[in-house]
C-alpha cells in the first residue's frame, strides 16, 4: 500500500478551506444563542402558577420546561440502567431477583402508577414539587426498563472471546467498561434511548394533561398548553402547539438521534462494512467542519483522554477484574431478605385496605376492566385492518416506501396523548362521545407500532420467494396465505404486543377527562382509577390499579407470549 510521507499528511488539514459544515455549525450556534436570549428575556413573567398562557410566544418556554422533565428523567434512567444492568449481569444472586422483577415491571401499564405516585407525593411535598417529581418519575418508569434490559442483554451477550481477551490482557474495571462493555452496547443503547425518548413523550403529555376532579394537578408544559387550547376551543393555539411539538421532535431527531446513530455505526460488531449505514446530514456537516473539529478536539477529546489516562492509572492499582464469583454474596441475600420483609409488611397493609372494599366496588372494577378490555381489542382490530394492507403495500414497494416513510415517521412521532385534547374537541358532540374518543386515542397510540413492524416484515420477504409465487401463478388470496401472512406474522405479533401495552396505558387518560370546565367520563377501569384519585379514595385506587396490572400481565403471559413463541419458532425467516 502506498502511503504519503508523514510530513505531508500533517500539513494537509491546515490547508483545507472552510466547508459547508462550518457554515452549518456557525449558523446553528447563532440560532442557539438567539433562542436562549429570547427565552430568557421573554418568558417567566407570563407563566405563573397553573394558569396556562395560550399566546404562541409562551410556547418556547413551555417546550423548555417539558424538555427539562424529559431530559432529567432520561439521565436518571440511563444511570439507573447502567447500575441495575451491571449488577444483574455480574452477580448471580442479584440476577435471580433483579431479572424477574425487570420482567414484571416491563409489562405493567405505567400510566396506572401516575395517580398513586401523585397522591402519595402530594401528601408529603408542596404541590408544585410533587407534580414535577411525579411527572419525572412517570417518564423515568416509562424510559428505564427497555434501557436496563438492553444494557443487561449487551453485557451478557458480549462474545466470549472478547471477554476472555479483556481478562487475559488484565483490563481494570474502567478499561473494561470503556473498551469493551460500552462500545459493545452503544448501538442498542442508542436505539433504545430513541425508543425510550419517544415513549417518554407519551407519558410527559399524559402527566401534563392528567386531571383529577376538582383538585388542580395541572403541570405547566406543552401538554397542558394543548389541553387548555382544546378545552377553550382555541384552534389557532392548538395548531401552534401541535406545530411546536412536531418541530421539537423533528429537531431532536435530526440534531441528536440521527447524528448519534450515524456516529455509532463504528460500533457494529460484524467484520464487514455495513451495506446501508444510517446517514445524517448534520453528522456529516459536523465531521467536515473545521470549527467543530477544533472544538471537539480541545473541549471533548483531550480532556476525555486525560480523564481516561487518570482513571486507568487510578484503577490499575485495584488490579484486574476478578471472575464473576462475588464475595459479597451474603450481602445480597441480606438485602433481598430486608426488602422481602418490607414488602411483606406493605402487602399486609395493602391486603387490609383491599378487604375494606365493598362487593359493588369490586363489581364495578370488573365491569370497568371488561369495558376497557373490549376497547383495547376493538382499537387493535381497527389498527390491524388498515395497517396490514397498507404496511404490506409500502413494504413490498420500495418506491412507495421511499416516499411515504418520512411522512409516516413524522406523523407517528407525535405522541397520541398530545392529540387527545384535540380529539375530544372533535368527537365530544358526536354520538358515542368519549367512548369513541377513547378508542380513537388508543388507535392513535397503537397503529404506528403495527405499521412500522408490518413494513419491516414485508420488506424482509426475500425476492426469490416473491418470484416463486409469481412463477407458480398463485392467486392473490393464495399468495397472501402462503407467503405474505406467514412472513409478516412475527412482526404483527411483536407490533401487537407493544400496541396493546400502549392502549392499556392510554385508557387512564382516555376514559376520564375535563372539557370546557366539565368532567366527562365513560365506563372503564381507567375512569375508575382517575375518579378514585380525584376523590382520594385510596382503597379503590389501589384495587383498580392492581386489577389492571394483573389483567395486563396475565394477557401478556397467556396470549401474547405464546403467540410470540409460535411466531419465533415457525414463521421467522432465515
Which residue, 288 or 316, has its beta carbon nearer to other proteins? 316
Least gap, CB of 9 to other proteins (angstroms): 10
Q: Which three cell numbers stand for residue 525?
A: 377501569
Nearest-CA neighbor of 420 among 445, 391, 384, 402?
445
Least gap, CB of 283 to other proteins (angstroms): 17
Which residue, 267 or 564, has its beta carbon nearer to other proteins? 267
Which stretches of the chain bind other proteins, using CB under 8 A? 1, 3, 159, 161-162, 164-165, 167-172, 175, 179-180, 183, 186, 266-273, 309, 312-313, 316, 320, 322, 569-570
Which residue, 51 or 309, has its beta carbon nearer to other proteins? 309
Least gap, CB of 513 to other proteins (angstroms): 47
Contacting residues for 437 by C-beta, under 8 A, at least 6 apart: 420, 423, 424, 427, 428, 510
Nearest-CA neighbor of 383 among 442, 458, 437, 443?
443
Which residue, 47 or 311, has its beta carbon nearer to other proteins? 311
DSSP string covering 221-255: SHHHHHHHHHHTT-HHHHHHHHHHHHHHHHHHIII
Which residue, 48 or 323, has its beta carbon nearer to other proteins? 323
Least gap, CB of 560 to other proteins (angstroms): 19
Least gap, CB of 561 to other proteins (angstroms): 16
Which residue, 38 or 570, has its beta carbon nearer to other proteins? 570
Least gap, CB of 490 to other proteins (angstroms): 15
Radius of gyration of the chain (CA): 26
User: Quick check: 534 and 452 in contact, CB under 8 A?
Assistant: no
**DSSP state, residue 480:** I
Which residue, 90 or 106, has its beta carbon nearer to other proteins? 90
Phi, psi angle pair for 250, to nearest 5°: -65, -40
- Which helix or strand (DSSP H or E) is residue 518 part of? strand 518-521
Which residue, 54 or 162, has its beta carbon nearer to other proteins? 162
User: Quick check: 218 and 50 in contact, CB under 8 A?
Assistant: yes
How far apart are alpha carbons 513 and 520 in whole angstroms? 6
Which residue, 1 or 11, has its beta carbon nearer to other proteins? 1
Contacting residues for 256 by C-beta, under 8 A, at least 6 apart: none
Phi, psi angle pair for 520, to nearest 5°: -125, 145
Q: How many CB atoms lie within 10 A of CB 261?
A: 19
Least gap, CB of 266 to other proteins (angstroms): 5
Q: How many CB atoms lie within 10 A of CB 166?
A: 19
How far apart are alpha carbons 207 and 110 in whole angstroms? 11
Which residue, 90 or 316, has its beta carbon nearer to other proteins? 316
Least gap, CB of 173 to other proteins (angstroms): 11
Least gap, CB of 264 to other proteins (angstroms): 9
Contacting residues for 441 by C-beta, under 8 A, at least 6 apart: 416, 417, 419, 420, 423, 506, 509, 510
Helices H / strands E in the chain, number of each: 26, 2
Least gap, CB of 168 to other proteins (angstroms): 6
Amino acid at each position: 500500500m502506498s502511503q504519503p510521507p508523514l510530513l505531508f499528511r500533517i500539513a494537509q488539514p491546515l490547508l483545507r478551506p472552510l466547508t459547508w459544515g462550518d457554515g452549518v455549525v456557525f449558523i446553528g450556534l447563532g440560532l442557539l444563542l438567539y433562542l436562549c436570549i429570547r427565552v430568557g428575556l421573554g418568558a417567566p413573567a407570563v407563566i405563573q402558577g397553573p394558569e396556562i398562557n395560550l399566546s404562541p410566544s409562551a410556547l418556547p418556554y413551555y417546550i423548555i420546561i417539558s424538555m427539562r422533565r424529559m431530559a432529567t428523567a432520561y439521565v436518571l434512567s440511563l444511570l439507573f440502567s447502567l447500575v441495575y444492568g451491571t449488577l444483574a449481569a455480574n452477580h448471580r444472586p442479584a440476577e435471580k431477583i433483579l431479572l424477574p422483577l425487570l420482567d414484571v415491571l416491563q409489562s405493567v401499564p405505567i400510566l396506572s402508577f401516575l395517580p398513586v405516585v401523585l397522591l402519595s407525593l402530594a401528601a408529603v411535598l408542596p404541590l408544585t414539587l410533587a407534580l414535577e417529581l411525579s411527572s419525572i418519575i412517570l417518564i423515568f418508569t416509562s424510559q428505564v426498563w427497555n434501557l436496563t434490559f438492553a444494557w443487561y442483554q449487551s453485557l451478557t451477550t458480549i462474545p466470549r472471546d472478547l471477554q476472555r481477551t479483556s481478562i487475559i490482557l488484565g483490563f481494570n474495571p474502567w478499561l473494561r467498561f470503556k473498551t469493551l462493555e460500552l462500545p459493545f452496547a452503544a448501538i442498542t443503547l442508542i436505539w433504545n434511548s430513541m425508543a425510550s425518548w419517544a415513549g417518554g413523550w407519551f407519558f410527559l403529555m399524559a402527566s401534563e394533561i392528567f386531571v383529577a376532579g376538582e383538585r388542580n394537578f395541572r403541570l405547566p408544559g406543552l401538554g397542558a398548553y394543548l389541553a387548555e387550547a382544546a378545552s377553550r376551543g382555541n384552534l389557532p393555539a392548538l395548531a401552534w402547539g401541535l406545530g411546536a411539538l412536531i418541530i421539537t421532535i423533528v429537531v431532536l431527531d435530526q440534531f441528536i438521534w440521527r447524528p448519534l446513530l450515524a456516529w455509532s455505526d463504528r460500533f457494529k460488531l460484524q467484520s464487514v462494512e455495513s451495506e446501508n449505514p444510517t446517514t445524517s446530514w448534520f453528522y456529516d456537516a459536523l465531521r467536515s467542519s473545521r470549527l467543530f473539529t477544533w472544538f471537539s478536539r480541545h473541549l471533548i477529546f483531550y480532556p476525555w483522554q486525560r480523564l481516561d489516562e487518570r482513571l486507568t492509572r487510578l484503577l490499575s492499582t485495584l488490579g484486574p477484574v476478578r471472575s464473576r464469583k462475588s464475595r459479597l454474596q451474603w450481602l445480597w441475600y441480606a438485602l433481598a431478605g430486608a426488602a422481602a420483609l418490607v414488602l411483606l409488611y406493605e402487602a399486609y397493609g395493602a391486603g387490609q385496605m383491599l378487604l375494606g372494599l365493598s362487593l359493588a366496588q369490586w363489581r364495578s372494577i370488573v365491569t370497568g376492566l371488561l369495558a376497557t378490555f373490549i376497547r383495547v381489542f376493538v382499537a387493535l382490530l381497527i389498527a390491524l385492518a388498515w395497517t396490514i394492507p397498507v404496511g404490506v403495500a409500502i413494504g413490498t414497494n420500495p418506491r412507495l416506501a421511499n416516499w411515504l416513510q418520512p411522512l409516516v415517521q413524522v406523523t407517528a412521532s407525535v405522541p397520541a396523548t398530545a392529540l387527545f385534547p384535540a380529539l375530544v374537541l372533535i368527537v365530544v358532540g358526536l354520538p358515542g362521545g368519549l367512548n369513541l374518543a377513547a378508542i380513537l386515542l388508543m388507535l392513535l397510540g397503537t397503529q404506528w407500532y403495527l405499521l412500522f413492524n408490518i413494513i419491516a416484515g414485508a420488506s424482509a420477504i426475500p425476492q426469490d420467494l416473491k418470484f416463486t409465487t409469481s412463477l407458480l401463478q398463485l392467486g392473490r388470496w393464495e399468495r397472501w396465505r402462503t407467503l405474505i401472512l406467514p412472513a409478516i406474522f412475527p412482526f404483527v405479533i411483536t407490533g401487537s404486543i407493544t400496541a396493546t401495552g400502549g392502549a392499556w396505558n392510554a385508557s387512564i387518560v382516555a376514559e376520564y377527562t375535563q372539557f370546557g370546565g366539565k368532567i366527562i367520563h365513560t365506563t372503564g377501569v381507567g375512569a375508575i382509577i382517575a375518579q378514585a384519585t380525584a376523590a382520594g379514595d385510596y382503597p379503590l385506587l389501589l384495587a383498580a390499579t392492581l386489577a389492571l396490572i394483573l389483567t395486563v400481565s396475565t394477557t401478556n403471559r397467556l396470549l401474547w407470549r405464546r403467540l410470540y413463541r409460535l411466531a419465533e419458532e415457525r414463521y421467522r425467516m432465515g
